[in-house]
Chains A and B, each alone.
Chain A
């Protein structure tokens, strides 16, 4: 439409762009904080992932105070929890003693000065008396690490398959694309579930991690392969590709040096779409008990643990913090992506 826009309209359009930019910067900032917190988990977390206080099962979050009951100001401190009802696992703050927080000791940013009596549990304790906040941080390493590794794996596998199909054409193309179509039609979580079920239930953590990366990579690869194939096919017909071929570039060189770089933009967008999908997939598998096993802290195992207690939802809502963490990460990814106009991208079938 070539009609002159009124100033008002321009201002509106401009403010929409500005709002989008703000939103995507906000998303990027949250993501940055999340990644930094994940990397620095051993320093930020007041406890190790496995530390438990048997006295404080399902204890609510400890709240840092700066003012005591008499109205006097102090450096940040906490009150210990006192068990009110063993049966209902209800606690109340023991206001008689202040336990100051100590900063930068034992290689940790902050912890309670009396960990045995009053551990610092910013998001409460789970049913084993473990610190939920610390476990969310350590869980991020497993959940986000798995998602990132699996996305990279899917990228590798998908690019190889897509490049082979697009470059070789003919029978290769037919067979590879039929297979990717087939995998794409299947509901991803069932494929992952079925593949996981074939593996032994109990595996050493590292092997399990590698296996899950492999499974997710297989499930995610078709989405990459499709696009890479299409791009390689169309780029190959362009003059620069013919020129390179005429100059005697080998197949591998032509692919690696000339054709695959053209898929960069597509792959970046796909990766950012696969990462949240994999975060959720890990959580789903672990939730139903087929992902990581319990003592390991991942967001899925934490939700699995929470789900074993029906009172969680009514009385111990802090056990659902991993779900909130997951939402924040996926939401900020979407905020970043929506600016690229890709928040909802389905790989449309041809």
Chain B
């Protein structure tokens, strides 16, 4: 098992290195640089050249990349042009915000989606029909649409604030509700559908019939005996969900003005702030690597066969 974890950690590290290197090179290759975009168009060629020299943009891509790589090995990720602060100082706060948002959304999605999936998968009738319909509607509303819709509701009712988050925990929670719902609800629908499908399959298994025949109550069979084997389908997609969480949080952060890594990266991309783009991309890759690793380990807990396969592979 430990060999497996080491291998996965190595993969996560590789992911971070490849993604940040690629984004660094892409950001440098992009037409127009920070100097073009930040200085007024009438600025003289000398002023521009001076600014480029100061920011290190006058060197070749390979020289700059190698320098950055060497510095990054010493945990110095360069200085943001846009904010004029080291990238290392800028990222943690934003990354923490994104992590809080993503984890809350995941908890919301699991807390709503799984139980409803068990209900709608294990019985027929109006209730499961209604759950299914709501799921189908939410499935058709990606975070882009849910967040626009929720912002619309917020603007009409004034229940939730948009932007301008303070430091107190209550204020953070108040601001968190809307973006977390915007990401969590479509995800809850995905989990509900998957869980319902899995539950439907498990309910038909002979051991369920046997338990019912022994006189075990229906709800006990559903929530105890059938639940665990049905969970592995959902557990198997958690690894893929990490990616969609990051994708979803990007657009939701932009729309609801949540100060996370997605909106930071967008600002950086627009301003061609090379080091900041690289830092954001690397952080995203780090989240991704850790997330997929955690989800694989969780899958092993729910489905012992999966971890055996994993150990054979390692």
Contact = CB atoms under 8 A, between A and B. Distances in A.
Interface string B167-211: 000000000000000000000001001100100000010000100
Interface in B129-168: 129, 136-137, 139-142, 144-145, 148-149, 151-152, 154-156
Interface stretch (B45-53, B68-76, B247-255): B247-255
Q: Which of A189, A287, A349 has the most CB of B within 10 A?
A: A189
A331 B254 contact: no
Contacts of A267: none
Contacts of B154: 313
A201 B270 CA distance: 9
A244 interface: no
A280 interface: yes
Contact of B142 (A12, A186, A280, A320): A280
A187 interface: yes
B247 A187 contact: yes
Interface string A83-106: 000000000000000000000000
B149 A189 contact: no
A189 B243 CA distance: 10
Contacts of A189: 247, 250-251
B31 interface: yes
Interface stretch (A120-128, A142-150, A338-346): A338-346
Interface in A271-303: 276, 280, 283-284, 287-290, 303
B124 interface: yes
B279 interface: no
A84 to B, nearest CB: 21
A344 B193 contact: yes
A283 B144 CA distance: 8
A200 B270 contact: no
Interface in B33-59: none
Contacts of B26: 194-195, 197-198
Contact of A194 (B23, B140, B239): B23
Interface residues of B, number: 55
A187 B209 contact: no
Contacts of B145: 280, 323, 326-327
A349 B137 contact: no
Given A187-B288, A190-B250, A348-B237, A289 B148 contact: no
Nearest to A3: B209
A317 interface: yes
A280 B15 CA distance: 26
B103 interface: no
Interface in A312-326: 313-314, 317, 320, 323, 326
A39 to B, nearest CB: 23
A185 interface: yes
Interface in B54-112: none
Contacts of B310: none
A193 interface: yes
A53 interface: no
Contacts of B209: 1
Nearest to A348: B236
A201 to B, nearest CB: 7
A343 B151 contact: no
A112 interface: no
B244 interface: yes
Nearest to A315: B155
Interface in A136-162: none
A19 to B, nearest CB: 8
A303 B152 CA distance: 13
Contacts of B288: 185-187
Nearest to B203: A1
B304 interface: no
Nearest to A196: B269
Contact of B139 (A186, A288, A343, A349): A343
Nearest to A201: B32
Contacts of B281: 190, 194
Q: Which of B19, B31, B148, B255 has the most CB of A within 10 A?
A: B148
A281 to B, nearest CB: 9
**Complex A-B, nearest 3 residue pairs according to Cβ-Cβ distance, in ascending order:** A313-B155, A331-B140, A187-B247
8 contacts: A182-B15, A189-B250, A194-B26, A198-B30, A288-B254, A313-B152, A331-B136, A348-B236
